[in-house]
Structure 1
Amino acid sequence: MSRSWSIRRRTLLAGASLALLATAYAQAPKQELRIGFQKGASLLVLQKAQGSIEKKLAPLGFGVKWVEFPAGPQLLEGLNVGSVDIGFVGEAPPIFAQAAGARFYYIGHDPAAPQAEAVVVPKDSAIKSVADLKGRKVALNKGSNVHYLLVKILEKNGLKFSDITPVYLPPADARAAFESRNVDAWVIWDPFTAAAEKQIGARVLADATGVASNHQFYLGERNFVEKNPQVIRAVFEDSVERGRWLKANLRQAADQIAPLQGLPVDVVELSLRRYQFDVRPLSDAVVAEQQRIADTFHQLKLIPKAVSVKEATWKAGV
């Protein structure tokens, strides 16, 4: 091989490498969407497993970073301090966060799922009704959706919150306390409810039917939402598509979600049957219902000031 050909060859190879690098750079995400999620948020877990949001956002120049939290209150704290851009939580965490001054928007919600949260007791417990909880220790995640459920279900059965002893624990610690009989009952949401039923024979004392809607909300950090409405809409488009696929393919979805949730497939499938997975903008009725929850917490002095849910609702919608 001649010296001139060798030089030309090295030049061509170098040029090709530079071209490949330039192409890769052009295709690389320029920005990042940080999604706060909980293992119990089955649709987001499915989207994470399938990489569907990444595919939706790639044409917009956005990559995705997934940030896991044990429950809604901790996720809202992450949203408030700027470690995530959007998240998915139950009814109560946004109210506590808004009362604490967090800047976020409600950007959408899933339909009511009252069967997906419940008060459970050990299978051989002497507790036969909600009224029997008087004087008992009840585990719950403070500031979560089940906090409101417990308040309202006690009220419905002639009890006040002060009639029970709340034991504030995140789900994993609450499960341990429940199994070891350090608490008498546990107020919890799916898939943890389904896991307790299937794995340790927990008995559902009452679910939220007729007491609380148990809406799930999508939230976004205000500045991010205002600057990137196209990203929010792309995420929701994907959530609608994946939600419909999930409901039409429950067993297959459970197979994909179970390893990430660390739960048996039959537990995940039971949990999936209790949710609707159909994201939509907040209606006036849903805003009003969320406001009633906020007002209840304020009346009970669980939050330091009144909040306006409407003021925190994204006007542009999805």
Structure 2
Amino acid sequence: MSLRFPRTIAALFAMTLIAAPMETFASDTVRIGYQRSSTLMGLIRDSGVLDDRLAQQGVDIRWHEFTSGLPMLEALNLGDLDLSADVADTVPIFAQAANVDLTFYATEAPSPAGQAMIVHADSSIDSVADLKGKRVTVTRGAGNHYLLLAALNRAGLTLDDVQVSYLTPSDARAAFVQKNVDAWIAWEPYLSTARAQDDTRTIVDGSDGLANYTRFYLAATPYAESHPEVVGTVYRTLKEAGDWVRAHRHEAAQRLSPLWGGIDPKIIEAALSNRSYQVEPVSKAQFDEQQQIVDAFLEAGVLPRKVDTRDAHIYEPTNEEQ
């Protein structure tokens, strides 16, 4: 029997909710952090499907919005959050360096085109080598920070060869538009927004082995260990949401537009095409590149101490959840 995809993500999830057996659990609360750009978790929050599923398990959700990944993981460390939406692969490294007890409960397949270095169309910069002496902006500790290091290294340059400004994405966009910086490594949806609204050229992205730009979903380890059934429900819902987005980019863009401040759905659809949204279990092998990031950040003086990325805890979903 063939199955048709429903027209809305809420309908897709509702099919599973109707069929789900009712079980009795003790009343509880899970606190979930997300960013405005958290695609899958944003859609899930908007649909209410996870709230409904966890309500069947006697669990209420408290949603908390953050401006970036590092403060979100700090909240995990302080006990103010239980689970986080996706963060770039660089972010957990700083949390591990601060001895935050994290559990990786999901990942997305790599999206190397999900971030890229752009310049103005009339710029004299044609390659990474041309960045010498130029002004570049990234967000400190974010995935674009590592892409800058990797790109400079491949071109035989270091951070000492460029003038780096560490700005949030919104501030970086303003600096780029006003031509206060020569190059900006942006991630989605900021990247597709700039490409659509400004006259830009792309110098390099994460392809050719520069940076996989893998996204991870994290939990406070004490919570993951004491509430595996909640983590499992969140994992299953994320996976279904990712499958839906990949099959329904146009509709997903329409739904995300008001959640992302009214960005043109056509821009969002372009942004979605640069991310995999393929939710998978986390494996130790994925930490190999993270260890490379550790080494790069240590050499650049960005990371306070060396960490072994393989020391992190991993949640393993059940066969039913996968």
| TM-score, length basis structure 2 | 0.86
Using the TM superposition, name which of 83-92 and 298-307 deviates more: 298-307
Structure 1: unaligned runs, 5 residues or longer: 1-26
Which structure 1 residue ranges, 4+ long, deviate > 3 Å from structure 2? 315-318
Amino acid at match of 1:273: S
Q: Any idea what the Cα deviations from partners look like across 1:253-291, whole Å, max 9, x if unmatched?
A: 110011111111011111111111121122232122222
Residue matched to 1:282: 282
Taking the TM superposition and a 5 Å limit, the aligned residue runs for 1:43-122 are 43-87=40-84, 88-122=86-120
Alpha-carbon shift at residue 33 of structure 1 (Å): 1.7
Amino acid at match of 2:281: P
Using the TM superposition, name which of 158-167 and 75-84 deviates more: 75-84
Residue matched to 1:244: 243
Say whether residues 1:293 and 2:293 are aligned partners: yes
Is the 8 Å Cα contact of residues 128 and 152 (structure 2) preserved in structure 1?
yes
Is the 8 Å Cα contact of residues 283 and 314 (structure 2) preserved in structure 1?
no
Distance 1:228 1:28 in 2: 11
Structure number with the higher helix fraction is: 1
Amino acid at match of 1:137: R
Taking the TM superposition and a 5 Å limit, the aligned residue runs for 1:26-41 are 30-41=27-38
Change (3 A) 1:265 1:135: same
Using the TM superposition, name which of 268-277 and 68-77 deviates more: 68-77
Query: Percent sequence identity over matched residues?
Result: 35
Structure 2: unaligned runs, 5 residues or longer: 1-23
Alpha-carbon shift at residue 28 of structure 1 (Å): 11
Alpha-carbon shift at residue 317 of structure 1 (Å): 4.9
Distance 2:49 2:200 in 1: 35
Distance 1:224 1:78 in 2: 13
Is the 8 Å Cα contact of residues 29 and 63 (structure 1) preserved in structure 2?
no
Residue matched to 1:13: none
State which of 191, 194, 212 in structure 2 corresponds to 1:193.
191
Alpha-carbon shift at residue 78 of structure 1 (Å): 2.2
Could you say what secondary structure the match of 1:267 adopts?
helix
Distance 2:30 2:164 in 1: 37
Amino acid at match of 2:308: S
Distance 1:314 1:93 in 2: 16
Amino acid at match of 2:125: I
Could you say what secondary structure the match of 2:91 adopts?
helix
Alpha-carbon shift at residue 299 of structure 1 (Å): 3.1
Alpha-carbon shift at residue 295 of structure 1 (Å): 2.5
Taking the TM superposition and a 5 Å limit, the aligned residue runs for 1:1-318 are 30-87=27-84, 88-210=86-208, 211-262=210-261, 263-314=263-314, 316-317=316-317
| TM-score, length basis structure 1 | 0.87
Distance 1:80 1:202 in 2: 39
Is the 8 Å Cα contact of residues 282 and 316 (structure 2) preserved in structure 1?
no
RMSD, matched Cα: 1.9
Amino acid at match of 2:234: V
Change (3 A) 1:187 1:29: farther
Amino acid at match of 1:43: L
Amino acid at match of 2:295: D
Distance 1:300 1:193 in 2: 25
In the comparison of the two structures, how many residue pairs are matched?
293
Could you say what secondary structure the match of 2:29 adopts?
strand
Could you say what secondary structure the match of 2:314 adopts?
coil
Change (3 A) 1:28 1:314: closer
Q: Any idea what the Cα deviations from partners look like across 1:65-87, whole Å, max 9, x if unmatched?
A: 22111222222222222222111
Distance 1:124 1:63 in 2: 52
